[in-house]
Structure 1
Amino acid sequence: MALNDLKDKVILIAGGGKNLGGLLARNLAKDGASQIAIHYNSDSSRTDAEATLADVQATGADGFLFQGDLTQVANITRLFDETKSKFGRIDIAINTVGKVLKKPFTDTTEAEYDSMADINSKVAYFFIQEAGKKLSDHGKICTIVTSLLAAYTGLYSTYAGQKAPVEHYTRAASKEYGARGISVTAVAPGPMDTPFFYPAESDDAVAYHKSASALGGLTDIKDIAPLVEFLVTDGWWITGQTIFANGGYTTR
């Protein structure tokens, strides 16, 4: 499926209201997707999500907003059901949802662990599960993880630790869904230059992350979006893989 084959395709994006998810919604609409479901989590994201929807509709594509806490699995089910009810089918499902916690192992509370597990691992599992139930044959599933999966570092035990299972979810789902022609991938960016990144980091840490990549600087969402777009179109033959895209921040 080439980019010009996005015509008439229905796309669902979790975390699609802003940052990378918002950019993906805009780009895919510009590239010809006809219908896009844009999920956002809370009222604090509503304004950004509404702006993203307006930009999507300005391209001539149809779209709608869905607000919900996806750590409640019923909301994941409802997101897919409402998208399918409104647009008739779902062809591409992209999950950009995540949360960063930078904290020493010995200081992490049970509540923090549970929250990180819910947002980074549980949501990803049941999103991929629901996509397997609701996507059309030859559909595409892509999840955003983190390049810290290949890092030898402390302080991110719950962030990298709860993104790590998504690599196996991706492999397992790709094997189980492959007979239907559905590809399943994950993309692992380096630290991205978005508001998502900065609250967890000190100024010194930000400077380190900027210097750590071989190509220099933080990851720009504009460098990640084309990769995701490729994987859910021309790159469909890549499946079961986690692709590290980070300017040489980490590697395997």
Structure 2
Amino acid sequence: MIGGSGGIGSAAARRLAADGMAVVVHYSGSRERAEEVVASITEAGGLAVAVPGDVADETEMARLFDAAEERFGGIDVVVNTAGIMLLAPLADMALGAFDRMQRVNVRGTFVVSQLAARRLRPGGALVNFSTSVTRLQQPSYGAYAATKGAVEAMTLILARELRGRDITVNAVAPGPTATPLFLDGKSEQLIEQIAAAAPLQRLGTPDDIAEAVAFLAGPGRWINGQVLFANGGIA
């Protein structure tokens, strides 16, 4: 579980553990939160371990995959929720901020996807993360959406490159979801306005997104090379 200490990542880690999977909870700078996720899984009778690493560093990610294989005997599911979102109109976006998103969202997805392609066992699944903003096309999200467009391209092509391996490759594209990343800096009025835009008239929850991940990681074996928009009908 890459990015397993975040709002969506931690919910997905717990959900997969509830399905009986042993989980490696990856974290970058949130050791305490990652260990809390591990503790909640083990207290519920599951198996989990926290492992640090820079998602865009191929050596550190290789060590994470090594740890998963050594601890649990192999890798069947890779879920990559790691990502950052920096917002500004295109004309005002600092190139340094754009480069940061490219490194984490694009290079990080490439590094993890490459390792998954090499190490997933037959019957396995890779689940990357995009965003429903690629459909909504909201102002100030241009640079962020561009990184997620790259994620979608890599995901869909990799699914076809793994022909004959019995490995599925998909992406989940959440809509507005009540995580600290999404809520940070938004007024209550704006949050209510965004929630009202969905036909279900609420924000998504991390558990909503975790259900989509569990489907693609488990029973959804005939879903391959797709982007699943988990957004309550907002787009």
Aligned-CA RMSD value: 1.5
Q: Which amino acid aligns with 1:27?
A: R
Provide the C-alpha distance between the structure 2 equivalents of 1:30 and 1:220, rounded to a whole number of angstroms: 18
Provide the C-alpha distance between the structure 2 equivalents of 1:102 and 1:180, rounded to a whole number of angstroms: 38
Deviations 1:11-31 (CA, angstroms, capped at 9, x unpaired): xx0011231111122122222
Q: Partner residue of 2:79? A: 94
Q: Which amino acid aligns with 2:12?
A: L
2:27 to 40, 53, 56: 40
Q: Partner residue of 1:28? A: 16
Q: Partner residue of 1:176? A: 161
Deviations 1:32-61 (CA, angstroms, capped at 9, x unpaired): 12x21100111xx22221111011112333
| SS of residue matched to 2:23 | strand
| SS of residue matched to 2:75 | coil
Q: Partner residue of 2:58? A: 73
Provide the C-alpha distance between the structure 1 equivalents of 2:185 and 2:226, rounded to a whole number of angstroms: 28
| SS of residue matched to 1:159 | helix
Q: Which amino acid aligns with 2:212?
A: L
Structure 1 residues not aligned, in runs of 5+: 1-12
Q: Partner residue of 1:150? A: 135
Confirm whether residue 113 of structure 1 aligns to residue 98 of structure 2.
Answer: yes
Confirm whether residue 18 of structure 1 aligns to residue 3 of structure 2.
Answer: no
TM-score normalised over the length of structure 2: 0.94
Provide the C-alpha distance between the structure 2 equivalents of 1:210 and 1:64, rounded to a whole number of angstroms: 35
Q: Provide the identity percentage.
A: 35
Do the aligned partners of residues 205 and 120 (structure 1) sit closer, same or farther apart at CA in structure 2, a change above 3 Å counting?
A: farther
1:99, 1:116 within 8 Å by CA — same for their partners in 2?
yes
Give 1:202 shift. Answer: 4.6
Map 1:51-70 onto structure 2 (within 5 A): 51-70=36-55
1:18, 1:52 within 8 Å by CA — same for their partners in 2?
no
Do the aligned partners of residues 207 and 110 (structure 1) sit closer, same or farther apart at CA in structure 2, a change above 3 Å counting?
A: same
Provide the C-alpha distance between the structure 2 equivalents of 1:90 and 1:123, rounded to a whole number of angstroms: 19
Do the aligned partners of residues 159 and 56 (structure 1) sit closer, same or farther apart at CA in structure 2, a change above 3 Å counting?
A: same
Provide the C-alpha distance between the structure 1 equivalents of 2:201 and 2:158, rounded to a whole number of angstroms: 34
Map 1:127-142 onto structure 2 (within 5 A): 127-142=112-127
Confirm whether residue 230 of structure 1 aligns to residue 176 of structure 2.
Answer: no
TM-score normalised over the length of structure 1: 0.88
Provide the C-alpha distance between the structure 1 equivalents of 2:78 and 2:37, rounded to a whole number of angstroms: 17
Q: Which amino acid aligns with 1:41?
A: S
2:129, 2:151 within 8 Å by CA — same for their partners in 1?
no
Give 1:203 shift. Answer: 4.6
Structure 2 residues not aligned, in runs of 5+: none
Provide the C-alpha distance between the structure 1 equivalents of 2:186 and 2:93, rounded to a whole number of angstroms: 16
